[in-house]
Structure 1
Amino acid sequence: MTEEEKQIFSLDFNYLYGEPQSSGLFKHLCEDFNVEEHLGFELTGEGEHVCLWVQKVGENTQYLARALAKFAAIPAKNVSYAGLKDRQGDTKQWFSLHIPGKITPDFSTFESPGVKILKVVRHNKKIKTGALAGNFFSIVLRDISDKSALEKALLQVQGGVPNYYGAQRFGFDGYNVNAALAMFRGRKIKDRFKRGIYLSAARSYLFNRVVSARIKDNLYVKPMLGDCVQFVANRSFFPLTELDAQTEHRLHSREVCLTAPLWGAGELTSSDNAKEYESGILSPYREIQEGLAKNGLKQERRPLLLVPEKFSSTWLDENTVKLAFYLPSGCYATSILRELIKAAE
């Protein structure tokens, strides 16, 4: 990609509670960032797929998937996982290996630095990407510069934060969004994984832009006529055809929540004022919109705000705090952390 082809895609999205007043260190050690995957369903104990419950420290998910395929003497495409997990962390996640009609390999002899196979269970289905309910997080923040400011922020984030896609999705300086644009303009990308990364980055960028605008315009909890609201329990959504006290109550009680568009083919699912607002925010990105539609993505919605569940904080000393919380699948812990601390200098 030449400098002439690159466009500026600002990742300076608006804060809900203002820029954090305290600085701190995040992921100072791998052990400071713990993630435990929650599938939300039980494995059957039998079937063509061997599922591995794996703990990895400082290891890449894709690399480990290839290593497991090599160990089991199966094609790499026969290994799947519900989601990518951070390399710089201590994470537990499921891998599934399609091994029909064969004896289960002895994974107790599998060796890889920083990797432990904790459980081996057969299942009747492949664990597909995104097939998980959520993740439990345990995170240590160090060198906190302003304890009182952070304690205030810890209370605020429990009411919700912008449900942004994390900066890691976009690559350095928005590289992945630029790569998507180049692909839309005809550049061939043979690697299916890279194609997926670029498409996700472009789509996520449009979502973040709408959320950031609604934060700026103080419309993050205030509904507009035609807004798409989503049932928190089952994720189905519908447009608001009228604004009344019942709608306000359902939003306040978290029975339903406001959403922003995940762009794809077809018309926006919002209507009236909300549709006009969203179209206006995204009008500078027509080329991205068209590219996403042509690549087979469909119009979907995602909640505007992210409310962490089972949130707790414990001060380990005057400058170190440990956080614990649960987030639904597809949500980023960094969306919580960006409202709490700025990077220590």
Structure 2
Amino acid sequence: MIESEQQQKLSETIKNRPEDFVVDELPLYEPCGEGEHVYLCVRKTGITHDLMVRLIAKEFGVKPRAIGTAGRKDRNAVTTQLVSIHTPGEANREVSFSHDGLDLLWQDRHTNKLRFGHLLGNRFDIRIRDIDPIKVTTLQKRLEVISIMGLSNAFGVQRFGNDANNHLFGAALITNKFDELLFLILSGNERHHQFANEGEWKKALDAWPLGNPVQQHVLEALVCGKTSQDACKRISKTMQKLWINALQSHIFNRTLSRRQIDGTWDTLLLGDLAWQHDGGGRTFEVSEEDDLQERAKQIEISPTGPLWGPKMRMPSGDVLKAELEDLVEYGVRDELQQNDKLLAAGARRPLRVPVKNTSIGSGVDEHGGFVRVQFELPAGSYATVLIDNLLTASL
């Protein structure tokens, strides 16, 4: 099954209704009660992250950049999370607001802006639909195996866009293949795509549906006679970074998949960079003298994979050689190690993560039967990956 079909099927199974996908943040720290930043604990239901930010910014009369969050949450979910608002010089005031899809639970103050990653993890409470509730026994066994071995820390398919190909956009962009990038942006099977394929830029622009700013901006440039490179410069930096991040994520998933196939995704190899799960993300290189397999078995430490970037710490030996070989199919190597404003610095990411406080049961409500799964994951790990493992893994 291709990734886009997999994403659709999984979404239909666990995200029919926002209340079937409940997420509570596990904050890295609590607000101290004073400072220039108002901290709100809000419940978001069925609205996007960006809309939430705009609503709160409007309520406080500030620019969206004054708003801080620890991470982006799914639209089709009920999420409880912290949001910070920078309000320098403003006296303490009680905030009271409620919008459709956004409720205020409590407020406090703190000395710093809430930033991406200021998060221990997330607590999930998910109802799986379109499944016979009596299968809960089988799923419970699978959940027990995941709890013992850890969860493969793959990036979820939602990371790669609706068509599961954002990484291809990133590869074309970072290698300056602008004609290829334009082809990806403007390709499809509808009438407006056909105009673009024939080089009828004005007809394509006039026929293109509204709400597609990337396509509209590049077509406007092409109508004016700009080159493919100049047209691609019209794409927002935010979108360009999203594509390159998708490329980095796809390469990580490729490395993880290879190590799952050869049975070393949970085993430390000579030259590996080991991740300390309780060490704030610190890594260390595995040497011949190390005897670490018992710690690895307890999921205290795990092997890591690459998020390629100019400042990424490199493993050594055969581990590095294999990771470099993973880059071949993408046609990139040096490009991911250059200093580029669009390219993240690079990091190591654990190939697996611990799954804590698990619970599973079944039931029936007005919408039919379901299996209910509860668990905690570290920040940056995907609940959809765990659910996919539950539904597809063999015992």
Q: TM-score, normalised by structure 2?
A: 0.75
2:209 aligned residue: none
Structure with a larger share of its residues in helix? 2
In the alignment, which of 58, 81, 96 is matched to residue 69 of structure 2?
Answer: 81
- The answer for the alignment partner of 1:67 in structure 2 is 55
Q: Which residue of 2 aligns with 1:172?
A: 162
Distance 2:313 2:38 in 1: 41
C-alpha displacement of 1:117: 0.6
Structure 2 residue 125 is the aligned partner of structure 1 residue 138: yes
- Equivalent residues of 2:310, 2:336 under 8 A apart: no
What's the offset of the Cα at 1:23? 12
Judge conservation of contact 1:96–1:127 (CA < 8 Å) in 2: yes
Q: How many pairs were matched up?
A: 322
What is the match of residue 112 of structure 1? 99
Partner Cα distance (1:53, 1:302) in 2: 29
| CA RMSD after TM alignment | 2.5
| Letter of the 1:175 counterpart | N
Letter paired with 1:330: G
The alpha-carbon deviation at position 191 of structure 1 amounts to: 3.2
1:220 aligns with 265
1:339 lines up with 2:389 in the alignment: yes
Which has the larger Rg? Answer: 2
In structure 2, relative to structure 1, the CA distance for the partners of 1:268 and 1:79 (3 Å cut) is closer
Preserved CA contact (<8 Å) 1:231 1:255: yes
Q: How does 1:293-332 map to 2 (within 5 A)?
A: 293-295=338-340, 296-317=343-364, 319-332=369-382
CA distance in 1, matches of 2:112, 2:88: 11
Q: Residue 18 of structure 1 aligns with which residue?
A: none
Is 1:232 the counterpart of 2:282 in the alignment? no
Q: 1:211/1:289 Cα in 2 relative to 1: closer, same or farther (>3 Å)?
A: farther
How far 1:135 sits from its partner (Å)? 0.7
Is 2:36–2:110's contact at 8 Å kept on the other side of the alignment?
yes
Kindly indicate whether the alpha-carbon contact (under 8 Å) linking 1:61 and 1:84 is maintained by their aligned counterparts in 2.
yes
CA displacement at 1:268 relative to structure 2:
5.4
- Can you list the C-alpha shifts for 1:208-255, whole angstroms capped at 9, x where unaligned? 1100111112221233221111112112111212166x2222212223
Instruction: Tell me the secondary structure at the aligned position of residue 125 of structure 2.
Output: strand
Structure 2 counterpart SS, 1:34: strand
> What is the match of residue 185 of structure 2?
none
Tell me: higher relative CO, structure 1 or 2? Use CA pairs within 8 A at least 6 residues apart.
Answer: 1
Q: Structure 1 CA distance, aligned partners of 2:141 and 2:241?
A: 39
2:46 to 54, 58, 61: 58
Aligned partner of 1:212: which letter?
S
**How far did 1:291 drift?**
4.4
Q: Distance in 2 between matches of 1:45 and 1:88?
A: 32
CA contact (8 A) 2:43 2:103 kept: yes
Say whether the 8 Å CA contact 2:299–2:353 is kept in structure 1.
no
8 Å CA contact 2:267, 2:302 repeated in 1: no
1:99 maps to amino acid:
T
Which residue in the other structure is 2:142 paired with? 153
> In 2 relative to 1, CA 196–106 (structure 1 residues): closer, same or farther, beyond 3 Å?
farther
Give the Å deviation of 1:205: 0.9
TM-score, normalised via structure 1 length: 0.85
Sequence identity percentage: 32
CA contact (8 A) 1:24 1:341 kept: no
Confirm whether residue 201 of structure 1 aligns to residue 190 of structure 2: no
Alignment deviations for residues 133-178 of structure 1 (CA, whole Å, 9 cap, x no partner): 1111111112324715433322222222211011111102233223
Tell me: CA distance 1:217–1:78, structure 2 relative to 1, closer, same or farther (3 Å). Answer: same
Following TM superposition, by how much is the alpha carbon of 1:192 offset from its aligned partner in structure 2, in angstroms? 4.0
| 3-state DSSP of counterpart to 1:340 | helix
Q: How far has the Cα of 1:297 moved from its partner?
A: 2.9
